[in-house]
Structure 1
Amino acid sequence: MANKADDPVEGVEKPARVQSGCPVVHLDVSPALEAGSYWRKADELREAGQAFFNTMAQGYWMFTRYDEVREIYQHPEIFSSESITPWEPEPVYRFVPTQIDPPEHSKYRQLLSRWFAPAAVNEAGPAAEAICRRLVAQIAPSGGCDFVAEFAMRFPTEVFLTVIGLPASDADLFVPWVEDFFRGFGGDLAQQEAMARALDGMRQYWVDALDERRDEPVPREGDLASHLLHATLDGEPIGDALILDILTVLVLAGLDTTRAELGYLFRHLATNPDDRRRLIAEPELISSAVEETLRFYTIIFGDGRKVARDIEFHGCPLRKGDMVYGLVSGANRDPRVYDRADEFVLGRTANNHLGFAAGPHRCLGAHLARRVMKIAVEEWLKVIPDFRVATDAPLLERGGGSMMTLLTLPLAWEVTS
């Protein structure tokens, strides 16, 4: 990532608490760059040292390697989820249950867990397969598409809405809302107004949905919003404000993530025909391809936490209120942990990646995301077994301030009569 601002800052005095041996960098992770740039930067940082102090925003500590990042995830009593964006230690939004720490976190998570448990995901499997087959059948005769806009955004959104009991056609509303939100969430100040409008749109959608269900005596079958209206927390009704927080974060966490991973997975298959042909011949390896995508093409550049008490952590003197940033993209390619860490390895057996985080905040929708990605590969390859990237121009990805994702992925294939 050829950006002078990414190099250690000359002439900037190290903060008093930054010990020698903890270099200072100035790294802005918000710009859109050529695909792969952020992973290369993560590799450079990880191999240069296990910790840095980033002078971006108010300044925050970065930890680059697998063991340290996993340790941050596993100790919420030290590293609080009160803020998950290190350049925003006092966020104006509240993601529930994402920004709730244990032990209270488990109560909120239990409200939602059955909707995304393996049994629920298995039950949704046939509907997800039908949605995927319909979308692929619509796309295939054209001989090409923008995979991101026409498939990767649409498929997981329709499946997610179906799982929580909403019309799949409402994907027309949610897709642009999620896009606009993450443009601003990633640190791009020019997109803050669009982010705010997207949040307002989503929340109004849920306000209307709750009003429609409010006077119904029993919960609607398979309807998450209705379920939350009838649920209790510590023996008391949850209340609309909290329900709105929960439903909003589910949409944001559930839609953007899977579409992003699908983009990188299908770019890999388009540019690595040997892997693509192997999956066609050995479909039992598709699950391995999904896991390796989550490791090698992780969409999380890093994950922020707020320090809850003074502590020295791997040589860095952290104080209560400081922000830290676990460099997930560096951790997931750490050669101290993974054999052939810098390669996409089909059939990798030991793959305890951090693509879904770790610890009590491990991704609630991990089972659904895996199933959606697996179905996408299975159904696409049945109909479009050979495809290629249809441009020589560099592909751009959204910055790592939120979640990295390809902005576009033009694919092409031969159409047979």
Structure 2
Amino acid sequence: MSASADVVVTDFDHHSAKFAARPFEVLEELRDAAPVAWSTAHGGFWVITDHGNVVEGLADYSTFSSTAGPAIPANPFGTRHIPVAFDPPLHALYRKVLNEWYSRAEISLREPEIKAMVVEIVTGLRERGSWDFVSDLANVSPGAVTLGILGWDVGQRLELLDVMTQSLRNQANPDPEVQKQNAQRNMWFREQILREANDRRANRRDDLMSVLANDPIVDGQPLTDEELADMVVLLILAGFHTTSGALTALLVHMEEHTDDKQRLDQDRSLIPHAIEEIVRIYSPATAHARKVTQDTEFGGVEMKKGDWTLFVNMAANHDPGAFPDPERVDLDRNRAKSVAFGWGVHRCLGLHLARLILRLEIEAVLDLLPGYRIDLDAAVRSDHMGLGYFYLSVPASIPQEA
């Protein structure tokens, strides 16, 4: 950081319970004070909260690089998540093989099987009469679909989810014993990945894991074990968590705004619009870290080579300069400027899959759970926003008279 009286200094910490308690207000206050400020948290980093600078910075990979990792502090499952942790041109070489599995066309082909799975899950909720939308739906279908694409046993979902949740909630905890436990979980995670890879090398199947374990990816060579683990870690982390957060945010919103719920129930073509609006406001991914590659002036401040920056896409999506009345859910809003799924070359690989799962989940809830009610007083939102906007519990039931 360059010492300057013009730089606004803050203690903003995206991992703190203080931020999680009132995220929109905290980001608005910070943006109003300085769209580009210096935070003293986690060793110090620039925090960028206005839409224009977030878009410009995320698009400028030559100045703001991903190669040191996309998180502050470092993700407990490593810093080199492939292809996120590479910039062009290398980024495109690794991403190409994944694009073939996560393209809009490929994901559309999976719709019948995903729909059948979601309908089976939601039918089970109806038969039970009461459930939790987090543990019984939001945390079930995204992980099951991700493991299905990889070709893993879907029965591993709960164990993987538990390991990820424990480590990510303690990402910013400096306690040496906690960090030791995070390192052990990271080692376990990678052992599972390499076990699957070795199985595919011996017995190839029609799944993504077989492709990653066997096929030439870069310069005619297959991935090394380390590269393969770094890639699959990203797919599982992203595939499990972000879609879950978006679904519960939308369900809670519909319970709080019955007019929107009624509109969606009467006109299912509005569901994709509701999904886009919810992920804009209740960002499943809070922010993206980058490292400055050269001394530069950006957003009115002097940044130095090696400085960390945090581009807060949640803040950008609440910038009234880009989205009038930004906290209001408007199903008819123009969301072309939304950075909910990122921006630039690192835009979310799984956005087509996320949109499909969310649409099918909402359709199934509306179709198969008529009259359901969410107990808003008992709903519990996470006190940790480092990853995104999440609920820990959203209990619901079908009243006896429904």
Within a 5 Å distance, the mapping from 1:174-253 to structure 2 comes to 174-185=160-171, 187-189=172-174, 191-216=178-203, 219-221=204-206, 223-232=207-216, 233-253=218-238
Within a 5 Å distance, the mapping from 1:281-300 to structure 2 comes to 281-300=266-285
Asked if 1:149 corresponds to 2:140, the answer is no
Rounded Cα–Cα distance in structure 2 between residues aligned with 1:275 and 1:284: 13
| Matched residue, 1:103 | 89
After superposition, give the CA deviation of every residue in 1:151-200 in whole Å (9 maximum; x if it has no partner): 11011111222222233333233221221232133x13455344334323
Report the CA distance between 1:117 and its aligned residue. 0.4
Within a 5 Å distance, the mapping from 1:376-415 to structure 2 comes to 376-392=361-377, 395-415=380-400
Within a 5 Å distance, the mapping from 1:283-362 to structure 2 comes to 283-362=268-347
Structure 2: gaps (5+ residues): none
Report the CA distance between 1:340 and its aligned residue. 2.5
Report the CA distance between 1:351 and its aligned residue. 3.7
| Matched residue, 1:366 | 351
Rounded Cα–Cα distance in structure 1 between residues aligned with 2:78 and 2:199: 28
User: What is the total number of aligned residue pairs between the two structures?
Assistant: 398
- Name the amino acid aligned to 1:192: Q
After superposition, give the CA deviation of every residue in 1:215-267 in whole Å (9 maximum; x if it has no partner): 34xx422x111111221120122222211111111101111111111121111
After superposition, give the CA deviation of every residue in 1:263-285 in whole Å (9 maximum; x if it has no partner): 21111112211111110100000
Instruction: Give the 3-state SS of the residue equivalent to 2:348 in structure 1.
Output: coil
After superposition, give the CA deviation of every residue in 1:3-27 in whole Å (9 maximum; x if it has no partner): xxxxxxxxxxxx7x24333311112
Change in Cα spacing, 1:107 to 1:55, as seen in structure 2 (3 Å) is: same
Change in Cα spacing, 1:198 to 1:220, as seen in structure 2 (3 Å) is: same
- Name the amino acid aligned to 1:138: G
After superposition, give the CA deviation of every residue in 1:262-321 in whole Å (9 maximum; x if it has no partner): 121111112211111110100000000010011011123322110011101121111110
Instruction: Give the 3-state SS of the residue equivalent to 2:332 in structure 1.
Output: coil
1:112 to 85, 90, 98: 98
- Name the amino acid aligned to 2:85: Q
2:147 to 154, 161, 171: 161
Change in Cα spacing, 1:63 to 1:33, as seen in structure 2 (3 Å) is: closer
Within a 5 Å distance, the mapping from 1:39-50 to structure 2 comes to 39-50=24-35
Change in Cα spacing, 1:146 to 1:78, as seen in structure 2 (3 Å) is: same
After superposition, give the CA deviation of every residue in 1:351-404 in whole Å (9 maximum; x if it has no partner): 431111110111110100011111110011101133333152573324222333
Within a 5 Å distance, the mapping from 1:75-94 to structure 2 comes to 75-82=60-67, 83-88=69-74, 93-94=79-80
Change in Cα spacing, 1:266 to 1:193, as seen in structure 2 (3 Å) is: farther
Farther off after superposition, 123-132 or 199-208: 199-208
Rounded Cα–Cα distance in structure 2 between residues aligned with 1:115 and 1:261: 22
Aligned-residue sequence identity (percent) comes to 28
Farther off after superposition, 175-184 or 251-260: 175-184
Change in Cα spacing, 1:224 to 1:89, as seen in structure 2 (3 Å) is: closer
Contact 2:277/2:335 (<8 A) preserved: no
Rounded Cα–Cα distance in structure 2 between residues aligned with 1:415 and 1:160: 36
Farther off after superposition, 400-409 or 337-346: 400-409
Change in Cα spacing, 1:172 to 1:57, as seen in structure 2 (3 Å) is: closer
Within a 5 Å distance, the mapping from 1:4-15 to structure 2 comes to none
Rounded Cα–Cα distance in structure 1 between residues aligned with 2:76 and 2:124: 45
Change in Cα spacing, 1:54 to 1:396, as seen in structure 2 (3 Å) is: same
- Name the amino acid aligned to 2:179: Q
Contact 2:76/2:167 (<8 A) preserved: no
Instruction: Give the 3-state SS of the residue equivalent to 1:214 in structure 2.
Output: helix
Contact 2:379/2:395 (<8 A) preserved: no
After superposition, give the CA deviation of every residue in 1:191-216 in whole Å (9 maximum; x if it has no partner): 53443343233212112112222134
CA RMSD of aligned residues (A): 2.2
TM-score (norm 1): 0.89
Rounded Cα–Cα distance in structure 1 between residues aligned with 2:326 and 2:48: 18
Contact 1:260/1:406 (<8 A) preserved: yes
Change in Cα spacing, 1:212 to 1:294, as seen in structure 2 (3 Å) is: same
Contact 1:254/1:365 (<8 A) preserved: yes
| Matched residue, 1:10 | none
Report the CA distance between 1:89 and its aligned residue. 11
Rounded Cα–Cα distance in structure 2 between residues aligned with 1:91 and 1:325: 19
After superposition, give the CA deviation of every residue in 1:312-337 in whole Å (9 maximum; x if it has no partner): 11211111100011121110011101
Rounded Cα–Cα distance in structure 2 between residues aligned with 1:89 and 1:242: 16
Rounded Cα–Cα distance in structure 2 between residues aligned with 1:140 and 1:238: 45
TM-score (norm 2): 0.93
Instruction: Give the 3-state SS of the residue equivalent to 1:53 in structure 2.
Output: strand
Report the CA distance between 1:60 and its aligned residue. 0.9
